[in-house]
Every structure is written in C-alpha cells, then in structure tokens.
Amino acid sequence: MKIIPSFIELQTGDGISLHDLMPELNLSIANSGIQNGFVTVTSQHTTTAIAINEHEERLIADIKNFLTRFIPPDNRYLHNDIALRDCPPGEPENAHSHLAAMLLGSSEVITLANGKMVLGQFQSVMLYELDGPRKRRVSVQIYGE
C-alpha cells in the first residue's frame, strides 16, 4: 500500500466562511496515481472544521446563520476572558469558534474507487472557517494502490 501526503493552503474569508476543497483534493488524488483506497482530510487548526455537505450558496448562508444562532459569538465564554489567560497580544475572543469546530469535527475519511472519491452527487468536502480571515492549512493523506 502506498501513502501519499500533501497539504492544501488557503486564505479564508471573514468570520464564518466555507471553502470547497474538491478541486484541490481531486488534483491530489489524480497526481497520487492511487486508484483504490481512501483519503483522509484533516484541519490543522482548532477554529476550523472539515465536513461533507452541499456547496450551494443559499445553504452556505443557512449554515453561517445556524452556527451564529446556535453558538452566539457575543455570549459570555471563559475562554474569552483574555486578561485571565497567558495570551499573545491581539488574541481574539473566539471561544464560539472552538465550540463550533468541536461539534463539526476536524477530519473526514473518504473511500477511493477507480481514482475517484466515493461521494454522493451533491456532496463536497469543505473547510469551515469559523474565525477568519486567516491563512489555513489542511492535511491530505491518500492511502491505497
């Protein structure tokens, strides 16, 4: 079995933003030469998430609204009490981003068959930025033959 590691780096948008990783993933898979196996996609950050969903403009707006209502940024969170923590200058009050990332998850594992990810017609692997804008990095490992 071969294991091919790579990374995706991207600049994210303000606040909550969703980024379709499919073009980069498809290119990595094609370049790997692996036909059958699986790919793991893992966020390298505690305020981003990796999840599979439909990459559709109105659904993305719904997701942003849902996360903001479900985990309001302006709630009182202990993590946001910067004066009581040993933090570098400019540390953001981002407890809500950590909580959303924990609920969404940091990775996905997708089956590969005949050189393609086995996903449904409308499914995309997406990076959920929860504390942007920032430069982000996603780990990709492709396993198989």
Beta bridge mates, 107? 42
Poorest-pLDDT segment among 82-86, 110-114, 120-124, 135-139: 82-86
How many CB atoms are closer than 10 A to CB 139? 16
Can you list the domains of the chain with their CATH numbers?
A: 2-76+93-144 (2.60.120.460)
Prediction pTM value: 0.94
Q: What is the pLDDT of residues 34-86, one digit of tens each?
A: 999 999 999 999 999 999 999 999 999 999 999 999 999 999 999 998 888 88
